[in-house]
Structures are given as structure tokens and as C-alpha cells.
Amino acid sequence: MGLLSGKTAIITGASKGIGKGIAETFAKQGANVAFTFLSSVEKGQALEQELQQYGTQVKGYRSDASKMEDAESLIAQVVEDFGGVHIVVNNAGITKDTLLMRMTEEDFNRVIEVNLNSVFNMTKAVQRTFLKQRSGSIVNISSVVGVKGNAGQSNYAASKAGIIGFTKSVALELGSRNIRCNAIAPGFIETEMTAVLDEKTVQQWRDGIPLKRGGSAEDVANACLFLASDMSGYITGQVMNVCGGMLT
């Protein structure tokens, strides 16, 4: 019996990186997994095939959580396909890094739209289902950059800090209905996105982390598993830093 046996989870942006790690961990722990992808269609289809091995119900959906109508139709479709939903992990996100003096309005707005609006859209869309069943766990993927800021990432930092404020507010609003909402702030996580970076730079980053290594998608997924499961039944409105001590 897994920690999420009998539960259905929706994970946005799960075709690669952290989202993929979360989908795999959840399926291994007995969850039925509905996940979304947008541009990575082939990777999304491959993940759907891959997760079949764990014997739970799995389905990928091409959906853009930054659009409210997409979020609403996704929730309705998942409830129809799976018979319900118990967990939502808001992971979809992008970066458009550049110094403020070079950042366009489009660079700023698009990152806010994808990273922050998507969390509002998905939470708003699933709220009615969760209120009806008087239970639910929402896990929002923020970032240490949203906690401490980072030069060249003012748009990304603003979006990820916004997620933290939103998470705490939703926890206060919905706690009386046994609906929990928490955030995870990953630090330097080594995924496909970081694999293209200069190895020397990456090693310098690792050296600056107390645990002397970058995190893995699995490290974030394990924290996510805890917050999604009944093991964290008395935890809401919190931000868990998964950063190897970077923020200590």
C-alpha cells in the first residue's frame, strides 16, 4: 500500500524535470495520476506509457493552466475520467531571465501569467470539488528565488514570491473545510534545464550549498509526496525549502 493509494492527483507541467519526478513518485506510491503538458507532446505521451508500469490509472492532457478556461475544462475532464480529484500540484512554470534594464513588458507578463496565474486558475477551478468533499491538498511549487530574490530574475522571483502569498491566503480561507495548501521552494535542482549550463559554473553553485550537491527532481518529489499525503494532515500554509541548506 502506497502513501497515496486510492487518491487521484493532478500535476501540471509534468512532461520533464521536477514535474516528471513528482508524477513518477506519486504513481509509485499508488496515486492515479492526471498530468498536463503543453509544448512537449512527445515527452508527455512517453511519460503516460512509462507510468503504466505502476498499475494505477494514468492520463496526460494537453492543457495550458495559464488560461482559466483550460484549467476549468481540465478539472471537469479529470473528475469525469477518474471519478474525482484529491491532490493538485501546481508545477507548471517558465523562465525568461534577463536584467531589469533589458527586460521587456512581454518578458515580465508572460512569466507572471504562466507561473502565477496558473496557480490561481487551477486552485479556483478545483475549489468547488474540494469544498464538496470537504478535503483536498494543494501543493504549489515556488522557488528559493521567490524567498530571497535573484539578480536577472525579477520576473521569476516576483511570480514565485506571489505563489507564497497566495498559498498562505488560500490556507487561511479553506482550512475550516479541511483543505490544505502548502508550497515547496526548491533550490538548485539538476534537471534537463541545468544540464546545458557550463560545468564549472554548476560546480561553483554546488560548492556554495551546505550539502555540497545540487538537488534532484526526486528530492522535490519526496517533499511533495509528504505534503500531498495524509502524513501532513496538520500542516497548511507552510513553505518547505528543499535547497540543501542554501537558505540556512
What is the set of active-site residues? 156
CB of 163 closer than 8 Å to CB of 206:
no
Compute the 3-state secondary structure of the chain and give helix, strand, coil in percent, each to the nearest 5.
50, 15, 30
Maximum Cα interatomic distance, the chain, rounded to a whole number of Å: 53
DSSP β-ladder status, 87-90 and 136-141 = parallel
Q: What phi and psi, each to the nearest 5 degrees, are found at residue 227?
A: -70, -25
Asked if residues 118 and 70 have their Cβ atoms less than 8 Å apart, the reply is no
Of 109, 106, 74, nearest to 90 by C-alpha is 74
CA 187, 193, 195, 199 dihedral sign is negative
Cα–Cα distances (Å) from 29 to 7, 22, 48, 180, 225, in that order, read: 10, 11, 16, 20, 9
Q: Are 179 and 86 in contact (CB under 8 A)?
A: no
- Could you give the count of Cα atoms lying within 13 Å of 211 in the half-sphere of its Cβ? 15
Number of H-type helices and E-type strands within the chain: 10, 7
Q: Is 87 helix (H, G, I), strand (E, B) or coil?
A: strand
